[in-house]
Chains A and B, each alone.
Chain A
Amino acid sequence: MNPDDVKYTSSHEWVRVDGEVGTIGITDHAQKQLGEIVYLELPEVGHVYNANEEFGTVESVKAVSELFTPVAGEVVEVNKGAVGEPGIINDDPFGDGWLVKLKLSSDEDVASLMSAEDYEKYVKEEEHGA
């Protein structure tokens, strides 16, 4: 269920790198934890971020969660469709429910992120702890 072609963060974002552009979203696990998403706050195109920096928030009826960049880079595209209809994040978190695309500042950040297998293990441990 967690695709192999993306890398994962401990704050439950994913990034799919294609050349120098990374597409970022939240994981299926994250959307399930939040429940039905009702609101999304995303940055403007042109904003530059370090890795692990807050770039927006995602809200359900009962919870709100900050979004963190898995990698450093400049925002080149924002998913307007998701802003208008945030339910698509619940329906297709790894596809149409993506959030932003960043032009990567370096490719070093990606190496430190988790694989699908590591992420699954991480989620299990986190659940066990709670």
Chain B
Amino acid sequence: MSAELQEKDAAVDRLRPEPRVNPLVFERSGEGKVGYSLPPLDVPDVCAIPEALRRAEIEGETRVTEVEIARHFTRLSRLNFSIDQNMYPLGSCTMKHNPRINEEMARLPGFAATHPLAPEEVSQGSLELAWTLERVLSELTGLPRVTLQPSAGAQGELAGILMVRRALEKSGNPRKTVLIPDSAHGTNPASAHFAGYKVRELKSSARGTLDLAVLESAMTEDVAALMLTVPNTLGVFEDQILEISRIVHARGGYLYCDGANFNAFVGVAKPGLMGVDVMHMNLHKTFSTPHGGGGPGSGPVAVCEKLVPHLPRPTVERRDDGTFYLDYDRPESIGRLRTFLGNYGMFVRALAYISSYGNRIGEVARSAVLNANYIRAGLSDVYHLKYDAPSMHEVVFSDKKQQEHGVSNMDVAKRLMDYGFHPPTVSFPLIVHGALMIEPTETEGKPGLDAFIQAMREIARECVESPDVVLNAPHTTPVRRVDEVGAARNLILRWKP
């Protein structure tokens, strides 16, 4: 571009109504502007709060109109990448399409404008919905009962391990250790720790799966549970799962399944048949509830018969006459891990989603696995595959070949944004140095997958021919590489009036 053109561009840029840096909402505030109105007060205007307990003022006035709010948040939204824009190949996150019927159903006043402590007689629809979702998740997992209470996957893990602990305590010894493969999500050891257990890490085999000899020797009578991700974080199904559950059960332990990767086999196989005793699911992964820029999640936990008495309170039960009620009278329960019944709005969405597929929900897993394997076939000559065991719903490459040119997985990830894709997962799993963990999900078609493969191949070529382009990426995003080091060294965590 000529210098003249560049200058013109800069001039136009300055005049554009949408500046590239968006003011904070507080910086839009102006005296005399109003963004709300309330009906006139229809009762006497009294304040019975003693002066000493009253607030004088609130710092940092924001006076903006609805027009400005609409523009502000619409402009901000356009700085975000989203699934509706293009594929999110984020391994272990299952970024699938979020059906809009789910959103509408969750907003029905009969769900969104209700209170869980309303009398049972006027809450039968809510209770039946929760009860039905529990039955459906029970059918999909092959386990008899499910708690819907946990707010997210990590809280589900904690609930699951707490139930195991309670069951072991009842039989006399809570035991001390939880076994976790070195490929596991970081939440597993954190949850075990918060349930009062020590963590023993199990080294994976050369295939990236659980090493049965290692399990045999580690699985002592002191071990409460093995926490296993199925398929594991490499996207590999533990084909010896039945042998694994036999070993764990033989020593009186429980098999915990981290269901973050349930999308790989939902509707095809059942954890209950694998010998799994307890398993959390992520409604925001497998069951299409939106990620929403980081929440809300929802992490139901399915359990075997032995753990049923220890489910969090309350449970939803059905009487013989067909009416539903909340059962708080559960003396052996682990208690509760949050207020009310859980992220109910997510239950509505998940049930809408499962109803859309019904008995054909296995198509989800089949398509997800097909898509991941198609990417694997399209990229395995240009990206290194540390473990070549068969992939299920995700495939984990590494940056070994790109490192020869001084380019890391993070650089490849950032460059992918220039091609219009979200980066894959790069911080994880820890057993693959420089991981590029790719999970396309079932909601991508062949054209989208081809475009992704093409982009990844182009980047691999750039790593050899013009690594600088990759190292300085991204070039076309709303902002360039962000100084995260500066943010951490000089903490600015809020605007100040």
Chain A–chain B contact at Cβ < 8 A: yes
Q: A residues near B, CB below 8 A?
A: 36, 38-39, 59-62, 86-87, 130
Choose the segment among B40-48, B91-99, B363-371, B482-490 that binds chain A (4+ C-beta atoms closer than 8 Å).
Answer: B482-490
Chain A positions within 8 Å of B489 at CB level: 38-39, 86-87
Closest 4 pairs (CB-CB, A-B)? A38-B488, A36-B485, A61-B484, A38-B489
Chain A positions within 8 Å of B485 at CB level: 36, 38, 60-61
Interface bits B463-489 vs A (CB < 8 Å: 1, else 0):
000000000000000000000110011
**Chain B interface, number of residues (Cβ within 8 angstroms):** 6
Minimum CB distance partner of A38 in chain B: B488
CA distance A36 to B433 in the complex (A): 19
Once the chains bind, are B433 and A61 in contact (CB under 8 Å)? no
Nearest Cβ in chain A — how far from B84, in angstroms? 29
Chain B positions within 8 Å of A36 at CB level: 485
CA distance A74 to B427 in the complex (A): 38
CA distance A86 to B489 in the complex (A): 9
Chain B positions within 8 Å of A60 at CB level: 485
Minimum CB distance partner of B427 in chain A: A62
Chain B positions within 8 Å of A38 at CB level: 485, 488-489
Minimum CB distance partner of B485 in chain A: A36
Nearest Cβ in chain A — how far from B206, in angstroms? 13
**When A and B form their complex, what is the total count of cross-chain residue pairs whose Cβ atoms lie within 8 Å?**
15
15 contacts between A and B (CB under 8 A): A36-B485, A38-B485, A38-B488, A38-B489, A39-B488, A39-B489, A59-B488, A60-B485, A61-B484, A61-B485, A61-B488, A62-B427, A86-B489, A87-B489, A130-B433
CA distance A4 to B489 in the complex (A): 32
CA distance A86 to B485 in the complex (A): 11
CA distance A39 to B485 in the complex (A): 10
Nearest Cβ in chain B — how far from A67, in angstroms? 18
Minimum CB distance partner of A130 in chain B: B433
CA distance A59 to B484 in the complex (A): 13
Minimum CB distance partner of A86 in chain B: B489
Nearest Cβ in chain B — how far from A66, in angstroms? 16
Nearest Cβ in chain B — how far from A82, in angstroms? 13
Chain B positions within 8 Å of A59 at CB level: 488
Further 12 A-B residue pairs, CB within 8 A, beyond A39-B488, A39-B489: A36-B485, A38-B485, A38-B488, A38-B489, A59-B488, A60-B485, A61-B484, A61-B488, A62-B427, A86-B489, A87-B489, A130-B433
Nearest Cβ in chain A — how far from B432, in angstroms? 10
Interface residues of B in 405-457 (CB under 8 A from A): 427, 433
CA distance A34 to B296 in the complex (A): 32
CA distance A39 to B433 in the complex (A): 24
Chain A positions within 8 Å of B433 at CB level: 130
Chain A positions within 8 Å of B484 at CB level: 61
CA distance A122 to B426 in the complex (A): 27
Residue among B433, B484, B485 with max Cβ neighbours from chain A (10 Å): B485
CA distance A86 to B484 in the complex (A): 15
Nearest Cβ in chain A — how far from B399, in angstroms? 14
Residue among A38, A39, A60 with max Cβ neighbours from chain B (10 Å): A38
Residue among B427, B433, B488 with max Cβ neighbours from chain A (10 Å): B488
Minimum CB distance partner of A85 in chain B: B489
Chain B positions within 8 Å of A62 at CB level: 427
Nearest Cβ in chain B — how far from A31, in angstroms? 13
Chain A positions within 8 Å of B488 at CB level: 38-39, 59, 61
Minimum CB distance partner of A35 in chain B: B485
Interface residues of B in 214-270 (CB under 8 A from A): none
Nearest Cβ in chain B — how far from A83, in angstroms? 12
CA distance A130 to B433 in the complex (A): 7
CA distance A60 to B427 in the complex (A): 14
CA distance A60 to B484 in the complex (A): 10
Chain A positions within 8 Å of B427 at CB level: 62
Nearest Cβ in chain A — how far from B305, in angstroms? 42
CA distance A113 to B484 in the complex (A): 36
Nearest Cβ in chain B — how far from A91, in angstroms? 13
Chain B positions within 8 Å of A130 at CB level: 433
CA distance A12 to B147 in the complex (A): 46
Nearest Cβ in chain A — how far from B408, in angstroms? 11
CA distance A42 to B1 in the complex (A): 52
CA distance A12 to B430 in the complex (A): 20
Nearest Cβ in chain A — how far from B385, in angstroms? 17
CA distance A87 to B486 in the complex (A): 11
Nearest Cβ in chain B — how far from A76, in angstroms? 27
Minimum CB distance partner of A61 in chain B: B484
